């Protein structure tokens, strides 16, 4: 596995041993390389030809390991739908960190590589359909400019996995800035304080090294988390993305989107939109995401309390509460920035924000497609009868703001995608792959998803609303 250019390190394994357990991938029957992310491989200095070789495929399946590898499953806890549970990597194995440069390392994780000490009653396996979905959604998010984990490769196992039915199995290689989660801190804070401190120091050094030498890095760590996560959710909202399962164990402290399970993009604009088969009460609905992230950040702050002011817990609580109160305003500022850009304003003004609010209200009342409505506005083709007065008011505001029409159009075009991974289209293509084994339709779809702002694809199915009579897609975790 060294041939592709891997430069493995094992810094996480130097943390206290209760934060992980040794875990080794199970051997698969007939590994077959299905998809390789050439652009990602190049960006982290790997040789794609070596990755695609027989030896590379064997390694990416977990059948062989890098020389000197110390694979582990990470321990963490989590509030799942609000209820605290001890968890851990039940179907993911961290091979180690790959050193990209002096300043950058990334986690290399095999997902679907078999049982770990944290699998509980699970089989630790992944089905091809769930892996393909994570691949296409994470690449879509990357193309949209939204922080995300990414998939380096998908390897078929030659075996079938029992879910709702027997489905083809696969192993996915996931690349992330790290796999440290809010839930990792929730786990650590319930043990020895020294473990929590080592984890926090490690996370700060790895993700926010500029904080290392300041007087109280843990306070600034909390502030960074608030800023990163508020920004992330505002970006999700701007493209109509619904994460689907925002448990604290699914929130990365790096600020990347992670764990694409029952995720989806909304069709019609509706704050109540939810897709997950298990989110029966809409806890993680589209419009609730900022509130849930705020709730999650509060759990993170609770875990840090012993470090903020070790000799004064009351002061720790007071300071944490003061910092947490900034989240709504920080989120709102990011939300306003991105939505004002979507209607052509590169700065936030009261009139622009009012226009956004009025537009969204009409879109909701008329059940208009979120992505299409904003792209039509960018093209100058928005002519829905219910929006005629709004368009006139918008044009007048642009005129009175002395906005250059050419730069306004460009601003909107780079903030309003032509295509998104429409749920019904992606589900149909993945089902065809599982049935026929032919990856070409999926790969064709992937190439379009990688170019979301291109008018070249304005005639593609992904650029059209869900047809009448096609039900909203129900999404599943894949476990």
Q: 213: which residues sit within 8 A by CB, 6+ positions away?
A: none
Q: 143: which residues sit within 8 A by CB, 6+ positions away?
A: 449, 450, 451, 452
Q: Are strands 32-36 and 8-9 parallel, antiparallel or unpaired?
A: unpaired
Q: 417: which residues sit within 8 A by CB, 6+ positions away?
A: 144, 239, 371, 375, 452, 453
| 360 CB-contact burial (10 Å; exposed 0-12 / middle 13-18 / buried 19+) | middle
Angle in degrees, CA 243, 247, 253, rounded to 5: 85
> Does residue 249 have an active-site annotation?
yes
Q: Please answer whether residues 380 and 394 qualify as being in contact, where contact means their C-beta atoms are separated by less than 8 angstroms.
A: no
Of 102, 107, 227, 249, the active-site residue reads 249
Residue 346: how many CB atoms within 10 A of its CB?
Answer: 13
- How far is residue 49's CA from residue 47's CA, in Å, rounded to a whole number? 6
Q: Within 280-400, where are the H helices?
A: 289-308, 313-324, 327-342, 350-366, 370-379, 388-400
- How far is residue 179's CA from residue 193's CA, in Å, rounded to a whole number? 21
Question: Could you tell me which of 335, 367, 336, 331 has the C-alpha nearest to residue 349?
Answer: 336
Give the distance from CA 91 to its chain's centroid.
18
- Tokens 């796999």 label which residue? 179
What DSSP string describes 345-377?
-SS--HHHHHHHHHHHHHHHHHT-BHHHHHHHH
Q: 76: which residues sit within 8 A by CB, 6+ positions away?
A: 87, 88, 181, 183, 184, 186, 187, 249
Q: Any idea which residues carry the catalytic annotation?
A: 249
């Amino acid at each position: 596995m060294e041939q592709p250019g891997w430069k493995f390190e094992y810094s996480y394994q130097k943390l206290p041993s209760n934060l992980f357990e040794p875990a080794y991938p199970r051997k698969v029957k007939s590994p077959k390389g299905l998809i390789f992310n050439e652009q990602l491989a190049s960006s982290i200095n790997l040789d794609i030809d070596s990755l695609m070789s027989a030896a590379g495929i064997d390694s990416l399946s977990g059948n062989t390991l890098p020389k000197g590898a110390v694979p582990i499953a990470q321990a963490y806890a989590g509030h799942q739908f609000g209820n605290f549970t001890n968890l851990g990597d039940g179907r993911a194995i961290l091979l180690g960190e790959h050193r990209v440069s002096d300043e950058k390392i990334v986690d290399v994780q095999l997902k679907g590589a078999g049982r770990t000490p944290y699998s509980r009653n699970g089989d630790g396996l992944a089905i091809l359909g769930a892996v393909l979905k994570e691949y296409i959604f994470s690449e879509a998010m990357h193309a949209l400019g939204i922080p995300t984990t990414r998939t380096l490769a998908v390897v078929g196992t030659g075996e079938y996995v029992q879910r709702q039915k027997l489905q083809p199995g696969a192993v996915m290689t996931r690349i992330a800035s790290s796999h440290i989660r809010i839930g990792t801190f929730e786990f650590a804070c319930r043990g020895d304080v020294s473990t929590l401190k080592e984890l926090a120091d490690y996370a700060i050094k790895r993700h926010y090294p500029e904080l290392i030498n300041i007087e109280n890095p843990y306070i600034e760590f909390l502030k960074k988390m608030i800023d990163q996560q508020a920004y992330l959710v505002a970006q999700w909202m701007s493209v109509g993305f619904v994460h689907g399962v925002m448990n604290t164990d699914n929130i990365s402290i790096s600020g990347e989107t992670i764990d694409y399970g029952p995720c989806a993009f909304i069709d019609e604009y509706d704050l109540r939109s939810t897709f997950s088969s298990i989110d029966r009460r809409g806890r993680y609905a589209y419009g609730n995401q900022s509130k849930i992230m705020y709730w999650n950040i509060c759990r993170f702050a609770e875990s840090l309390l012993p470090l903020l002011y070790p000799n004064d817990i009351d002061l720790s609580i007071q300071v944490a509460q003061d910092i947490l109160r900034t989240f709504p305003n920080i989120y709102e500022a990011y939300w306003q920035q991105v939505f004002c850009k979507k209607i052509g304003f590169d700065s936030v003004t009261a009139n622009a924000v009012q226009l956004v609010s009025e537009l969204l209200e009409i879109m909701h009342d008329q059940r208009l497609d979120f992505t299409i409505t904003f792209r039509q506005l960018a093209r100058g083709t928005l002519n829905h009868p219910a929006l005629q007065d709004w368009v006139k008011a918008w044009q007048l505001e642009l005129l009175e703001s002395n906005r250059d029409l050419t730069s306004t159009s460009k601003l909107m075009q780079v903030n309003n995608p032509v295509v998104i991974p429409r749920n019904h289209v992606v589900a149909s293509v993945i089902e065809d792959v599982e049935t026929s084994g032919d990856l070409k339709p999926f790969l064709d779809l992937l190439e379009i998803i990688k170019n979301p702002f291109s008018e070249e694809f304005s005639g593609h199915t992904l650029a059209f609303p869900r047809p009448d009579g096609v039900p909203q897609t129900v999404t599943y975790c894949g476990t």
